[in-house]
Structure formats: C-alpha cells, structure tokens
Amino acid sequence: MNNKVENAHSANSDDYRSFLLLDEISRNHELTQRDLSKKLGVALGLINSYIKNLASKGYITVSTIPRKRYTYYLTPNGLAEKTRLTYQHLQNFTNLYRTARRDYHTLFNNIKKSKIKKVVFCGFDEITEIAYLSLKEAGLELSGIVDKGQSRKKFFGFEVLSVDDINTLDFELIVLTSFQGGEALKSRLVQAGIDEKNICGLSTDWLKRIEG
C-alpha cells in the first residue's frame, strides 16, 4: 500500500475515532477516559490524546466539578462536527460496502470455480460481514474465523479465534477479511506455518478506489 493510501486511511481512522468519542460523550458526559478506552477498544493513552485534541479544537469542554473527576460536554461546534462526521462515516461505509461487495463476489466465484469449498476468514472488522454474504451466495462453506488476539466474539455462530489457533481448523483456503491490518494478519499466518499460496484477499486497488 503506497504512502498516499496509508495517509488517507490513517486520516479516516482518526476521523472515525473522533466520531465515536463525540458520540459517546454526547450520550453520557460522565464517562471516564478509562470507560471510553474500554468501550472503544482504544488504548488509554490514545484516548487521552484524542480528548486533548478535541478540546483544543473547541469541540468539547472539560469540567472538574465535582472535584477530582473530569466530565466532558459537547460544545455547539462539537455537535456540528459530530453531525459532519456522522454523514462522512455513512458515506464512507456506503462506498466501502458497494466496492467490497462487488470484489468479494468476484473473488468467491473464482474460488468456487477452483473447486475449493472450505474457507476460513482472517480478520474481523467492517468488511467481514460483507465477505460472509458473498461467500454464502457462492455456495462456499465457512470453516471458521480468526483475528489478532483472543477476542471471544461471535460471528454468525462461530467463535472468533486467535490467529495462533488457525491450525485447529479444517480448511482449504484462508481469505483475508480485514479493512485494515491485512498485511500484518498475513504475516501472522505465515509465522503460524501457513503457506502463502493458501492465503488470498482483495487487491489493495479496491481500497484506493474508496479513499481516492
């Protein structure tokens, strides 16, 4: 992925996290930074950095009443920014859905033509469900799903396992289903002993078309 795409993706990730923070604060201004860290799955230090950034831009105000406890409030500018980011997120997701749906449809139909039937997903984020819909339409079987860490999450009846557990699953091919971090996941799979020829995913061209 070239620097232009990486920079665009990083900017989109920052906007999305800002949107999530503003949304959480708008619904509950008594949340602590530790609460926000757990809710959003973002490191505490990073939450602190985002809070400072939003405050410096005038999107939130910070109060220390009662003493020794921080409370956060959206300003009128913060509410306007939340509205803008909500629209942007919906627009980005629509573009993401349309592009990923088309490309996964092509990918899984090509996999079907190669006589492969058992597939494992690697990666669990915005596009995983889109990939699953295309997989079922192609008449392929999902044997399991893995992701970084041990998430204990469920996906259509499957427990999301750690990448390190990949060899406990019965499969013929692994498909990368992550909007971000696909290359890192691929490296983890190779480290776990998976041959690269048994790993496939979408070309980065689809990501470039979304982020322009």
Residue ranges covered by each domain of the chain: 3-74, 100-211
For residue 200, list its beta bridge partners.
175
What confidence score (pLDDT) does residue 8 get?
38
Residue ranges, the chain, pLDDT below 70: 1-13, 65-68, 150-152, 180, 203-212
Q: Are 178 and 170 in contact (CB under 8 A)?
A: no
What confidence score (pLDDT) does residue 9 get?
42
CATH code 1.10.150.120 for 3-74: no
Phi first, then psi: what are they for 3, rounded to 5°? -60, -35
CATH code 3.40.50.720 for 100-211: yes
Helix 3-27 to helix 33-40 angle (10° resolution) is 120
Q: Taking Cα atoms as reference points, which of 106, 129, 98 lies closest to residue 201?
A: 106
What confidence score (pLDDT) does residue 65 get?
67
